[in-house]
Chain A
């Protein structure tokens, strides 16, 4: 049964979602990238290099850790954390960047660009660009630069140029617009490392494949520990790359339940959120058809989330399709719920999660207590929270006697 894993089709479509909605200037390059990626997928040398860097540079495999204290705390399902925050650069983002930079080298590209929201993808991109000796330009919304200062500094230390984007609301979508403008202007020598499972074909499939290492490892690690597959998988979703990376290798296992957690901001009913599936409609943006936050005239509405990494008004097209197929359940967690779960994880496990990841933990807080101990639940601990100290201090500083920045 290959019901869920043989997509996209030749046109990059997952049902009606996905596609290649880009300016003609980019089309020849996108078609070339598609061919190069298809070749790399079956090239043993490329796969050998990828495995080498995933191991010795990124630090894979990441552990699948039984979170005993969280399990006790919630008093229900057995909770396992897939420790992607232990990767080099502190999040799952590098899995994809390593893959794409190898492709960029293979295609003879001389310059790397990327967009970033929370800065984790920017840091991961700057990191691989440094490692492979390529100049790197990162587009980052001016608003995000404010709230993610540590990551901005990291990118600069790594030799990247960080360009603040002031158009629109100065967040991730505007950074992506600006990166696309750079790409169309420097199409000959530039490789655009998109950070999530979105954008024109082949990006959604390619990023998914590079992130699927998360799910493949989880599968064999759980089989080793418990001699069976997990019962449920939980992951947060902005564009959706950490979620799809975990889910994809399990899509054809009907007994494995999957839950994607969108950023509910102040609540989906408030209109101030980033929950494209729960509060959006289908549309076309950034090269693909997917669910978007937009008004009835097709103008994109700003997303709102405490977490810069989830602050995007769209979602990867494969998620849109899995949503319509009913294969994955998509829920949302509010800013407050995420902050609460963030603190529980710190206190119970001694792990400071990224605010993005805290959204997944917020769903675990709701769901785990209702389930029996023999229910095996895996949460993708997609990133660590060091970068979020300023934001968290802003919201919780009083409680801890920290001066409110």
Chain B
């Protein structure tokens, strides 16, 4: 590769600072196009290092109620693949450094047309893709074509990924590895940190790629605990809930950016000496 990608650059810089990345998930177009654009634009300033932007799908099989509802709100507001790509383009007019990873399901990409999608995504400044329902068995569908366009394909490793399966999962992975902390859907119960740490350490023996941890992380304390041993922590449902519980668009923006700031603060200090390791709350939210 010639120039380091935005993702490589981001992880390299954070390594220097000895802290994990904060990755935020929001669904594009939630709760409406305009508010969603404002939410997106303010994320880096609030402390997000990597943006995951959900492409809404009518049948999100791997998502819990929070993100299901977010997808519905977005679709009811008329969100489309084209509008999601346009959001990235307009974001890039003001921000050329924060990596953006599009996350979703294969069908909307398939219907948009894989080549057309990748061409447009590369052009507007998308850095990576997470497509939940494309396991390595289907790499020829999107993973390999994405590489041709210089777009990373971020692979999910899960608690069910055993030693036999892992090489297949890591095979064509790029960007980073997303470790799904619990077998389940997004927004479910929180993982226990001890088991997570050993899973992440095991994973590290097999890949040079940075390892992000997501699913069930909702609070600054959880983010800090997990950020001590992972390269990135992903928070999604908790942010999406802020949108659902807000009474006005302004309140949604304020709540989301407020929670992001809290999370950002905790991941910035979580590896400092003397930082009190807080017990992760194992309550189901």
Chain A residues with CB under 8 Å of chain B are 11, 19-29, 167-168, 173-174, 177, 180-181, 184-188, 281, 283-287, 292, 294, 296-300
Contact = CB atoms under 8 A, between A and B. Distances in A.
Contact of A22 (B133, B165, B183): B133
B107 A298 contact: yes
Given A23-B62, A28-B160, A284 B165 contact: no
Interface residues of B, number: 42
Nearest to B83: A297
Contact of B59 (A20, A28, A168, A188): A168
Contacts of A292: 107
B61 A167 contact: no
4 closest cross-chain pairs (CB), A and B? A298-B111, A298-B108, A185-B184, A25-B158
B219 interface: no
A28 B162 contact: yes
A320 to B, nearest CB: 14
B183 A185 contact: yes
Given A23-B62, A24-B158, A184-B62, A284 B110 contact: yes
Contact of B135 (A22, A185, A294): A22
Nearest to B61: A180
Contact of A184 (B65, B108, B135, B183): B183
Give the one of A281, A284, A285, A286 with max B CB within 10 A: A284
A66 to B, nearest CB: 44
Contacts of B155: 24
Interface string B134-162: 11011000000000000000011111111
B59 A173 contact: yes
Given A24-B157, A29-B160, A297-B112, A11 B137 contact: yes
A384 B180 CA distance: 45
A19 B138 contact: yes
B259 interface: no
Nearest to A295: B111
B133 to A, nearest CB: 4
Given A185-B183, A285-B59, A287-B133, A297 B81 contact: yes
Nearest to A21: B133
B189 to A, nearest CB: 9
Given A11-B137, A180-B61, A298 B109 contact: yes
Given A24-B161, A188-B183, 17 more contacts: A11-B137, A21-B135, A23-B62, A24-B180, A25-B159, A25-B184, A28-B162, A181-B61, A181-B184, A184-B61, A187-B160, A284-B107, A294-B111, A297-B108, A298-B57, A299-B108, A300-B58
Chain A interface, DSSP helix/strand/loop, else mixed: mixed
A109 B146 CA distance: 38
Given A287-B133, A299-B57, A299-B75, A21 B156 contact: no
Contact of A286 (B58, B61, B109, B180): B61
B185 interface: yes
Contacts of A24: 135, 155-158, 160-161, 169, 180
Nearest to A10: B137
A181 B160 contact: no
A123 B180 CA distance: 34
A21 B138 contact: yes
7 contacts: A20-B135, A21-B106, A22-B133, A25-B62, A181-B64, A184-B184, A287-B133
A200 to B, nearest CB: 9
